[in-house]
Every structure is written in C-alpha cells, then in structure tokens.
Amino acid sequence: MPSMLTDVFRAHPISLSHQTHDLTSLRQLPDSFTWTHEDDLLFSAASNDQNTLPVIDLSDHAAAAAIGRACMSWGAFQVTNHGVPLSLLDDIESLTVSLFRLPAHRKMRAARPVDGVSGYGVARIASFFHKQMWSEGFTVTGSARDHFRKLWPLHHLKYCDVIKEYEEHMQKLATKLMWLVLSSLGVTEADIKWAGPNSDFNGAQAAIQLNHYPVCPEPDRAMGLAAHTDSTLLTVLYQNITAGLQVFKDGVGWLTVSPIPGSLVVNIGDLLHILSNGRLPSVLHRVRVNKNRSRFSVAYLWGPQSDVQISPIWKLVSPVEPPLYRPVTWKEYLRTKATHFNNALSVIRAHQQE
C-alpha cells in the first residue's frame, strides 16, 4: 500500500512550504488565510441547519435499507453500534491530541517529504487554492513506527499499537459498510469478484488521516478544509465533540454534522460513485473552524487493491442506463484527481474514452 500511494503522490507533490505559520500562536488572521467568495465559489454558500444527517444503528435489522436511503439522498450518514470499542476511539483521540499539541519543531521532525505520503503536513488539496487552510494533518500509511519514534522517542510503541488496532477495526467496519451499501442496490457478494473468495476485500488499501483545526481568531473568514470529494470507496470519520464538518446537498446547502458521542460519520467516495453508476453521490464536504475550541478528527480513507479495475457494476447498467464511467484503477484515479481535483469524475466519463 505505501509504495502505491507514494508513486501516486510523486505526481502531485506538496511540501510544508505552503504552511508558513504556527497556527496555535496567531492572534490575528493573516491575509494568506483570509478566504472570500473569489477564492472559493462555495465559501460563502448558505448553511442550512434545519436538516439532520441520518443516524443509523448498525445493530438494526433494517440498517441496509436505511443506509441505502441515506446514500441516495446525502451520500453520507452517521452510524452507532458500529462495533469499534469506545475505549479505542478515546485512545485514537488521545493520540491525535498528543501529537498536535507537540511544539512545532517536534512535529517537523516527522514532516512529510515532498514526494512522500506519510507524516506531518498540510492538506494535499492545498495546492488547488490560493489561500491557506486553518488546519494541520498527519497521514499514516503502513507502519507508523519510524515517524512516531521521532515524535515520542520513549513512548512511540504504545501509539503504534493504537494505530494498528484502530486500522484492524476500521478495515472490518469498512467491509461491513461496503456490503450494506451494495446490498441496498441489490448487489450481492457474487457480483464483486475482486472482493476475494471470502468477500472480505483482503488486500484493500487505506490511509489514516489525523486532523487538527486550531482555535481561530476570525473563523467566519477562514477555512479549515476546503470543499472536496474523497477519492475513496468509503471514508469513515471519527470526530470529537467539536462541530465543524459540513456536507453539501443540492437544494439544501451546507449541513453541519453535529457530533454524536461514540458515533462515526461515513461518506461515499468517488470510486463507490463510479461502482454505483452514479446512483450514489460522492458527497462534497468541508470543515469550518471556530474561536472557542480546537477540533480533532481521524479519517479512515479506504479503497480497493491497486490493480483492481473499478467500473459500474453490471447489474446497475442497462440499455437505458449505460455505464457512465470507463474502468479505472484507484492508482490511475488518484493521479487524475491530483491533476483535475474535483473535476476528476468528469475526466473519466465514458464518453471521454476513444
């Protein structure tokens, strides 16, 4: 997994030179962090909090149908009774808080290389915008030992154990969610040959993204993470009690996803949108900041094996509903996304193929 992702991101390098300030030390918003409608057309879009993102109990026998409705309507939902121990969520949050509260010079010891994937740095989408985002992140792919040893020379092993356990639980949950989503479309395990003989998506790849959105002196003029879709099959997000995540729905606008203790947020990524032949929207989402509390979150970015061709599932294609997208591997799609950003899906539309 790490080598595949590294190869991909070498085509779209980004360094910490995009981030020139220690955000926690600023008492005024620099111009480089001040966003307007001209910097992002969606920046000033209205927010509508009259709607609620669906909350689904995974222990409910009707969970698949509820997930199907949520995916069709929103492209995202929250889950409870998901099987991930609450103590583990506390541990991953504690790790994240500990990491980002380290002095800036300590975090820089584990800075992400220009041509690398893992390590401390700014969001990769930063290069698509003129203004900087009020956030910092840390990406983990594969073993975190080398990076964590630089951050916590005496305590890195306990944090490595947390990451390993978290990844194991997330892989199981992502697999379960994937089948619930597909079953809501009438797709069975027999229809997805690349899921493997045990239908467990053995070999699926993932990255863990730790995020910090510090207290901001002028949150209404800043952006924590600009609007984007994920290049994944599914993304599973743990957010602490501080709100900030927003999802976009046509006709509604931006909805703030209020945190529910112990719950996880799930959103459809671009690859699952392709698999569903466009039936499931890859949800546009962003993060806003506030001036009272720091926000921490952990995203599990889950995708297929690197050599699997992702294309519309045959059951969802017909003469009246032809395939909307040509086959593409995750590796190829990530390269396309690195060049075309939120227009990547348009680039691989079926009519583009000669």
For residue 220, the Cα-to-chain-centroid distance in whole angstroms is 23
The side-by-side arrangement of strands in the sheet containing 285-287 is: 225-228, 285-287, 245-249, 253-256
Strand-strand pairing, 55-57 and 76-80: parallel
Residue for token pair 């918003």: 29
Cα 188 to Cα 291: distance, rounded to the nearest angstrom: 47
Q: Which residue has the tokens 């010079």?
A: 105
Q: Is 124 a catalytic residue?
A: no
Q: What angle do CA 289, 333, 341 make, to 5 degrees?
A: 40
> How many degrees, rounded to 5, is the angle at CA 85 between CA 257 and CA 189?
80
Q: Which two tokens stand for residue 37?
A: 């409608």
The residue written with tokens 């294609």 in the block is 317
Contacts of 320 (CB under 8 A, 6+ apart): none
Q: Are 139 and 208 in contact (CB under 8 A)?
A: yes
Give the single-character DSSP code of 309. P
Q: State the Cα–Cα distance between residues 92 and 110, nearest whole angstrom.
A: 18
CB count in 10 Å sphere of residue 291: 11
Q: d(Cα 36, Cα 41) in Å, to the nearest integer?
A: 8
Cross-strand bridge partners of residue 239: 297
Question: 286 near 35, Cβ under 8 Å?
Answer: no
Q: Is 70 left (phi over 0), alpha (psi -120 to 50) or beta?
A: alpha
> Which DSSP helix (H) or strand (E) runs through 25?
none
Q: Which of 112, 286, 295, 335 is catalytic?
A: 295
The catalytic site residues sit at 295
